[in-house]
Chains A and B, each alone.
Chain A
Amino acid sequence: METMAQPAAVSVFGMIVGLIAVIGLVSVNALFLIWMERKVSAHMQLRPGPMEVGWHGAIQTIADALKLMGKELITPRDVDRPVFWLAPIVVFLPVLLSFLVIPFSQNLIIRDMNVGVLLILAFAALTVLAILMAGWASNNKYSVFGSIRSVAQNVAYEIPLLITLMSIILIVGSFSLVDIVNAQSKYWFVLIQPVAFILYITCATAETNRAPFDLPEAESELVAGFHTEYTGMRFALFFLAEYTNMFIVASIATVFFLGGWRGPFLPGFAWFLIKVYFIIFLIMWFRWTFPRVRFDQLITFAWKILIPLAFANLIITAFIMKLL
């Protein structure tokens, strides 16, 4: 599995440091993204957004997080207790694990695995399980509706997501994220695979349950969907997982299409973060532009448009690769 030849002690030490760094990054990233989301949405509606706590409301989310931590953890009477308690943990674990293989820069990666992409996508699929658990255990019709939608949506959108990534993997010939970034030393893959990029961003938006594909938590119809019954820190974990998932899909997009850490002048880590936050800005931009799709439109869109287009893109890529 591992391509790095390191002494075991160094490796273990690296793992521990990596884990702490990842947890730190996840929290800071989520706090920043929530602030960014509020700012982006506000400015698109000619509002200033949070302005009171800190410079332009910069530490507003810290105040919100502290408030959330202080909230009582309510467990409704008729919920399925073990599943109800487990769901926030199950939603958060795969998110943490996905950081194992994300290459922040040339050497800043916890483990460079040659199945990197598959690992992230496999763990991303676990999120669906957690949402299903949360919705089912809540014993509430809106939550169940939310999780049913989420499962149908994620199953539908995972297929084009994988197929679009396959066309890149076909070009590079490796599942390792580092190899994929190294293959883009001359040009970014977004230039030769624009269709795949657009398809990927669409699927990624759907995978992270973001508007216009936010049916699992459609506020106006399902209260809050699968996390209606969750309070305090448990709710915060779902929130954290959602924003961290955004970071992960954005970093996959960066690695596959925007050349990862590559860029002039600035260090690799900075370039990686700039690109990731650009993709996240794009996803937020979608959210504040497009209205939510209807459920049949959502599924039709996946099966009739995204999957055929993804397949066509893959076949054409394969054909050209064979010719070259």
Chain B
Amino acid sequence: MVSYFKDILVGFYSLLAGMSVTIRYFFQPIVTVQYPRDKITMTPRYRGHTQLALDEETSTHTCIACELCARTCPSQLITVKGVKVDKKKKVPWQYVIEYQYCSLCGLCIDVCPTNALEWSDEYRLAGYTREDSVFDLLTRFQRQQQMAGVPMTPIPEAPAVEEGEAEPVEEGKE
């Protein structure tokens, strides 16, 4: 008889305990992000596609168009083309990645001698065609500079075709 009432009271208390948990949650702020309208900032270690890093001092990129990243890439999706601006210095006039082939291995970032590359925090990468995931990092870098509020680095002109091969600019490797 005592255990009967004890069961009822203990059971009733456990029900109240459960209800207190749900009501606490009821008044907590919601965690859902209304995605197309609200966007979350990604964590610092998020790996999107690669992008040219904005140098703090010079407020431009440090790419010297050495093409090490293009050569080390296991999927060969990076196209870097440089142009000489003076005797020593070379800058890229084209830096295109075909992100659809990228396995996010990060070798290009590791191999870069001037630390010109970094992971971007871009995650909205859906597209309708394969060409939608071909990114021109130099124009993207201009947008990065715009966002950071620093003067944009102009993209140099392509050198006059003299090496023999007249490759179209937007052509990717098959």
Q: Which positions in A face B, CB cutoff 8 Å? A: 40, 42-48, 51, 198, 285-286, 288-290, 305, 309
Contact = CB atoms under 8 A, between A and B. Distances in A.
Contacts of A45: 25
Contacts of A51: 34
Given A40-B26, A43-B26, A305-B8, A48 B19 contact: no
A134 B74 CA distance: 65
B23 A285 contact: yes
Interface of B: 8, 12, 15, 18-19, 21-23, 25-32, 34
B30 A289 contact: no
Nearest to A47: B32
Contact of B18 (A48, A198, A290, A309): A290
Contacts of A40: 26
A43 B23 CA distance: 9
A47 B29 CA distance: 9
B28 A46 contact: yes
Give the one of A43, A198, A286 with max B CB within 10 A.
A43
A196 B12 CA distance: 14
B30 A47 contact: yes
Contacts, number: 40
Contact of A46 (B18, B21, B30, B34): B30
Given A290-B18, A305-B8, A48 B30 contact: yes
A44 B28 CA distance: 8
A285 to B, nearest CB: 6
Which 10 pairs, one residue from A and one from B, show the smallest C-beta to C-beta distance?
A: A289-B22, A46-B31, A44-B22, A289-B18, A48-B30, A44-B26, A43-B26, A289-B19, A47-B32, A44-B25
Contact of B15 (A44, A48, A288, A290): A290
A29 B19 CA distance: 25
Contacts of B18: 289-290
Interface of B is mostly: helix
Nearest to A198: B12
A285 B19 contact: yes
Contacts of B27: 43
B118 to A, nearest CB: 34
B10 to A, nearest CB: 13
24 contacts: A40-B26, A43-B26, A44-B22, A44-B23, A44-B25, A45-B25, A46-B29, A46-B30, A46-B31, A46-B32, A47-B30, A48-B30, A48-B34, A285-B22, A285-B26, A286-B19, A289-B15, A289-B18, A289-B19, A289-B21, A289-B22, A290-B15, A305-B8, A309-B8
Given A43-B26, A45-B25, 12 more contacts: A44-B22, A44-B26, A47-B31, A47-B32, A48-B34, A198-B12, A285-B19, A285-B22, A285-B23, A285-B26, A288-B22, A309-B8
Nearest to A288: B22
A207 to B, nearest CB: 18
Given A51-B34, A289-B18, A290-B18, A46 B8 contact: no
